[in-house]
C-alpha cells in the first residue's frame, strides 16, 4: 500500500488526481500506477485499470489469479469489475468511495462489498488499510492550485 500511496503522491505532483494502485503476486510487486485520466485524456485510466494493464502486459496474461490489488481508494464499479474479470484474488483499499465523493468526484456509490454480493464475485476484500494515509492524499491534492475532478 505504501507504494500505491507514493505513486498517488507522484501523480498529484504531475497534475493527476489522488489515486494510486499496486499489484503484488507471490510477494513481488508486478505493477504500480497512479491515476492518468487527465494525462491520457482517458476517463477509464484509473489507477487500478492502469495497474491491471501493466500487470497483464508484464505477466503476458489476462489472468491475474493469485494477485493482490492495493488501492488507495475503494475501487469504483468499473475498477471492481476489471478486478473480477482479471481474477484478482484480493482487493485491499484505504479510503472509501464516499470519501472521493466528498472531495467532489463524480462517484457511483456502489461499494465493493455490494458489487461482490450482487455479482457473486469470489474476490476477497479488506477495507480501511492505512486509511488515514490514504485520506491524506485527498488533502494533498485539494491543496494544489488548479486541481480538478471528473
Residue 149 covered by a domain = no
The range of the structural domain enclosing residue 35 comes to: 1-143
Number of separate domains in the chain: 1
Residue 5, C-alpha cell as written in the block: 500511496
Reported as half-sphere exposure (CB side, CA atoms, 13 A), residue 68 has a value of 14
Residue 65 covered by a domain = yes
**pLDDT tens for each residue of 30-84:** 999 999 999 999 999 999 999 999 999 999 999 999 999 999 999 999 999 999 9
The mean of the pLDDT values for the chain is: 96
Task: Give every CB contact of residue 118 below 8 A, 6+ residues apart in sequence.
Answer: none
Please determine, for residue 128, whether its predicted confidence score (pLDDT) is greater than 90.
yes
Residue 123 covered by a domain = yes
Residue 7 covered by a domain = yes
pTM score, whole prediction: 0.96
| Distances in whole angstroms, Cα of residue 106 to Cα of each of 11, 20, 68, 109 | 19, 18, 26, 9
Which single residue is written with the C-alpha cell 494544489?
Answer: 144
Distance CA 117, CA 101 (A): 22
Residue 76 sits in a domain whose CATH number is: 3.40.140.10
Q: Which of 9, 10, 48, 74 does the annotation list as catalytic?
A: 48
Residue 64 covered by a domain = yes
Distance CA 85, CA 72 (A): 20
- Say how many Å lie between the first and final Cα of the chain, rounded: 24
Residue 12 covered by a domain = yes
Active-site annotation holds for 74: no
Amino acid at each position: 500500500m505504501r507504494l500505491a500511496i507514493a505513486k498517488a503522491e507522484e501523480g498529484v505532483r504531475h497534475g493527476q488526481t489522488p489515486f494510486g494502485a499496486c499489484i503484488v503476486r507471490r510477494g513481488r510487486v508486478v505493477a504500480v500506477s497512479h491515476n492518468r485520466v487527465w494525462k491520457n485524456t482517458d476517463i477509464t485510466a484509473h489507477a487500478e485499470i492502469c495497474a491491471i494493464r501493466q500487470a497483464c502486459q508484464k505477466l503476458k496474461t489476462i489472468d491475474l489469479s493469485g494477485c493482490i490489488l492495493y488501492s488507495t481508494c475503494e475501487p469504483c464499479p468499473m475498477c471492481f469489475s476489471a478486478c473480477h474479470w482479471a481474477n484478482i484474488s484480493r482487493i485491499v483499499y484505504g479510503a472509501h468511495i464516499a470519501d472521493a465523493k466528498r472531495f467532489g468526484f463524480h462517484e457511483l456509490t456502489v461499494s465493493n462489498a455490494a458489487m461482490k454480493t450482487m455479482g457473486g464475485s469470489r474476490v476477497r476484500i479488506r477495507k480501511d488499510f492505512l486509511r488515514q494515509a490514504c485520506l491524506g492524499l485527498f488533502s494533498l491534492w485539494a491543496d494544489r492550485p488548479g486541481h480538478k475532478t471528473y
